[in-house]
Structure 1
């Protein structure tokens, strides 16, 4: 039995070993499949016209628990990202296939390299293949239309729409203030009853006041003191205004003596009985006011009527004014009116000046007097700071930053000796019409093996300043990092610079940012006045938006 079954046992052992080996291979292959993600990428075309789009598709096959991060932002330079579509996910058992499509474009003709893209899976970076995209110009029908040379740049006048807008707002405010000034100061307001009564002649006003006294309730309420006080005040005021007798401050005896003297001198034609009646009324009034005497109501009514007769007789006894006196009176009234108007004008102007002064003082303490002056009178860099800023990409390799004005391409001619190492220079710049404020960007493409020499570049920049008349340039240096983490050099300082509108050198500041790598170099230059706080704010804001691409 041993000889019969031994081969079978050996054969079974061989099969067991084979099965174990196959299981090991299978497990190993599964583990390898889980550990090695599969990445593929492709484009729908490698030839487009200017402005057309390339659809770049990347597919990643990973385990269901893996974390995948696709490229974001403008990572396809020199091609521009138009849109990154949402990720499409497909599940097959415990494996996922992630597909993401990017729409890319370019607006200059040429042959461009679509760079490799980094895809991060569980913290490890995997890179796609790079390829070339040909961008062709749009064909022009030269038969249907003629071709012409590019026209040169022409200067245009500055747009004055904004100053006109502020001028109209200022005029509107002045009109409102002028309207308020006229309404409350210069306008002849309707007279009140008291004002109309005050303008009446003394005779008419006295009769009107006596009539009002007749209709009063003094006698009904036994207020004899108030009644006689008002009665004597009316007649005394009339004599002082019309007969020019100082009656208000005189005692009864003094007033009667003055009237008798005027009668005796012929200046006042009054009968002696009238003067005596007036004396009796004044004495009665004194007794009522000081001795608390209380006459009958009929006697009080009679005294009022006698005072009215005295007023009438005195008015009739007064001589008629001469023409000269009437003219003097008219001139006097006109002079009073002029003084009144002048007084109103002075009060109005003083009120307006005080209002402006108070408003200016409050605004000055709140915003600063220098800021207030610049707001009212205008300041070139303040207007730049408060304008609508523009974010754009300049040159190749691109420099991205925000500026208050768009930078204009500058023509740069390469000297023959530089063509051996420099392939192309693209420069853009802006200069304020007033002052020292300037912004400039330069992108330099060199031979692929050439390394950037920051020291030599800085030396050339300083020499450029000096060739334009700058002196006493102070230089400081530190490291600068963009918002995306690209490191570069920042050179900054101060000096005395020349500006076209001034024959003297003015004190200013400058900042230079240098970036670069193998085959390229980028730099940004900004200059501004030393004491221009608005320009300093502009520079600080620009530096927070700087971004550069480090792949050529």
Structure 2
């Protein structure tokens, strides 16, 4: 009997220990979960304000230090307006982190308002704050203490453009400056310098002027005979090369004299022997000065210069008069040279301008991207829609509040007889681009039976059938829940891609579509958007339209 009691006692102890272990394990898991689960609170500094005053709305998040937290960013506090979102204040303690962010809110109409629940994402999971009530009171005005004035008329405010006008203006001004510099330094006919004027003279006149300048030089005074004779021989050799048409600059003294004698013997140059001998003597003296460093008398240097001047004159007189044909060829040659020079100027000017234009275009492409620059310069119909003045309106009943680039136009819909037994009324509003695949349609319908629930899958099937009937092929379908941005109304988003026909062509192009469905007892609502798959502007428009959607969740006004 004692053995049995001991056994029962042991079993009881074992069971008790097991229960304690399970309880500890459960409590440990619960405590661990409670510690890891983020704590989110929201508070306001006051519940009563006057019109135009601001409320400080604070969101406090206590989470794990590794958590990724996303706070509200846009106007999600409607009907109150967010004035400012302050920086996030972060506090860390061990493995926990506390994030605090404050928002300045206001309202300019009196009444009682509810700040809607705000969504905070922690590691991709959505958490919501509690809604808060705020009373906005009017400001009492003493009409006897101050004057009353008439209401000022409305002032039209131009919508700020997204086009980079400042950068483009700077680039345009820079290009105009480049054009001016091109004109001033390249294309403009500048006044000739003294040297350029001398260079345009005939060889004979130019040689005499250069000999006169040599006479007034200081070479002899400074005993620079080598430079003196070098310039003296260069003047006469250049003249002979240009006027007599012989290679004088590269010839030695003996070679040059031989060439002159050959021309004399051939009757092409009527020079006497004394002139040629005198020329040979001057050249030999110049060779001795330049290569043997001989220093002649000053009087001899002067005589040699005068002798060269006489040689130039006699050579010029000895040359036969040019024929009319030679003069014409020379004139044509000069005109051709002038044309080449002018052409060279224009080539340099155009190349400079094109280079500056390419640099400016490169800067724009670097800052804004090639596609944006191309579409801005050449125009893009959907980009123009994105940058136009958008319209915010309500369509159909129950109403769909939506913002679109253009006003949606009401369409007449003829329902088949069999459909009239199900649908009491169908209202359709559309916008279709004439140039691209971009289109928006909004429809709202009520059922004949007020208790009928909407069938979103059937709606999606009907829409896809209409797309296929219009020529679309290879349509893919995906589904996900859709929540409106402000009121958080729930709906279904059906989207995908396929091959679609554009308005002005039967050719199939890659496109995308998105169908948003809402509904309730006795009614349903749809928003359908189609656009080209690679159209970044259409995707931005679609995203903006989706964020603006608001619907009534019942048929009551």
Using structure 2 for the length normalisation, give the TM-score: 0.64
Give the alignment partner of residue 520 of structure 1, picking from 519, 523, 526: 523
TM-aligned CA distance change 1:353 to 1:294, over 3 Å = same
Give the alignment partner of residue 492 of structure 2, picking from 482, 489, 494: 489
Matched, 1:469 2:471: yes
TM-aligned CA distance change 1:85 to 1:196, over 3 Å = closer
| Paired positions, count | 406
TM-aligned CA distance change 1:550 to 1:370, over 3 Å = same
Report how far residue 311 of structure 1 moved. 1.2
Whole-angstrom CA distance in 2 between matches of 1:275 and 1:430: 99
Whole-angstrom CA distance in 2 between matches of 1:272 and 1:340: 43
Matched, 1:301 2:315: no
Report how far residue 546 of structure 1 moved. 2.2
Secondary structure, aligned partner of 1:434: coil
Query: Match of 1:310?
Result: 311
Q: Conserved in 2, the CA contact under 8 Å of 1:430 and 1:438? A: yes
Matched, 1:508 2:514: no
Q: Conserved in 1, the CA contact under 8 Å of 2:475 and 2:498? A: yes
For residues 30-429 of structure 1, the aligned pairs below 5 Å read 73=79, 86-87=109-110, 100=111, 186-357=187-358, 359-360=360-361, 363-364=364-365, 367-419=368-420, 421-429=422-430
Using structure 1 for the length normalisation, give the TM-score: 0.65
Bigger Cα displacement from structure 2, 526-535 vs 227-236:
526-535
Query: Match of 1:449?
Result: 451
TM-aligned CA distance change 1:124 to 1:360, over 3 Å = closer
Whole-angstrom CA distance in 1 between matches of 2:332 and 2:131: 104
Write the deviation string for residues 132-188 of structure 1: whole angstroms up to 9, x where unpaired. xxxxxxxxxxxxxxxxxxxxxxxxxxxxxxxxxxxxx99999999888766665554
Whole-angstrom CA distance in 2 between matches of 1:319 and 1:377: 66
Whole-angstrom CA distance in 1 between matches of 2:500 and 2:78: 43
Report how far residue 427 of structure 1 moved. 2.1
Q: Conserved in 2, the CA contact under 8 Å of 1:85 and 1:101? A: no
Matched, 1:534 2:540: no
Whole-angstrom CA distance in 1 between matches of 2:272 and 2:179: 59
Give the alignment partner of residue 461 of structure 2, picking from 436, 448, 459: 459
Whole-angstrom CA distance in 1 between matches of 2:306 and 2:78: 107
Secondary structure, aligned partner of 2:451: coil
Whole-angstrom CA distance in 2 between matches of 1:521 and 1:125: 31
TM-aligned CA distance change 1:273 to 1:395, over 3 Å = same
Whole-angstrom CA distance in 1 between matches of 2:460 and 2:345: 69
Report how far residue 520 of structure 1 moved. 2.7
Write the deviation string for residues 66-99 of structure 1: whole angstroms up to 9, x where unpaired. xxxxx9639xxxxxxxx97654xxxxxxxxxxxx
Q: Conserved in 2, the CA contact under 8 Å of 1:84 and 1:101? A: no
TM-aligned CA distance change 1:196 to 1:391, over 3 Å = farther
Report how far residue 119 of structure 1 moved. 11
Whole-angstrom CA distance in 1 between matches of 2:204 and 2:284: 23
Unaligned runs of 5+ in 1: 1-70, 75-82, 88-99, 103-116, 127-168
TM-aligned CA distance change 1:283 to 1:434, over 3 Å = same
Whole-angstrom CA distance in 2 between matches of 1:509 and 1:124: 37
Write the deviation string for residues 102-121 of structure 1: whole angstroms up to 9, x where unpaired. 9xxxxxxxxxxxxxx9999x
Write the deviation string for residues 227-281 of structure 1: whole angstroms up to 9, x where unpaired. 1111110111011111122211111222222223323333222232222222222
Q: Which has the greater radius of gyration?
A: 1
Report how far residue 208 of structure 1 moved. 1.1
TM-aligned CA distance change 1:257 to 1:188, over 3 Å = same
Whole-angstrom CA distance in 2 between matches of 1:227 and 1:118: 100
Secondary structure, aligned partner of 1:455: helix
Write the deviation string for residues 36-90 of structure 1: whole angstroms up to 9, x where unpaired. xxxxxxxxxxxxxxxxxxxxxxxxxxxxxxxxxxx9639xxxxxxxx97654xxx
Whole-angstrom CA distance in 2 between matches of 1:348 and 1:440: 54
Whole-angstrom CA distance in 2 between matches of 1:229 and 1:125: 103
Whole-angstrom CA distance in 2 between matches of 1:273 and 1:367: 81
Report how far residue 491 of structure 1 moved. 0.3
Secondary structure, aligned partner of 1:472: coil
Query: Match of 2:58?
Result: none
CA-based RMSD:
3.6
Whole-angstrom CA distance in 1 between matches of 2:182 and 2:212: 40
Write the deviation string for residues 405-442 of structure 1: whole angstroms up to 9, x where unpaired. 22222223444544555443332211111121101111
Secondary structure, aligned partner of 2:248: coil
Secondary structure, aligned partner of 2:283: helix
Give the alignment partner of residue 502 of structure 2, picking from 496, 499, 504: 499
Write the deviation string for residues 303-357 of structure 1: whole angstroms up to 9, x where unpaired. 2222212211211121211222212211222222233333334444444555555
Unaligned runs of 5+ in 2: 1-76, 81-105, 118-129, 134-168
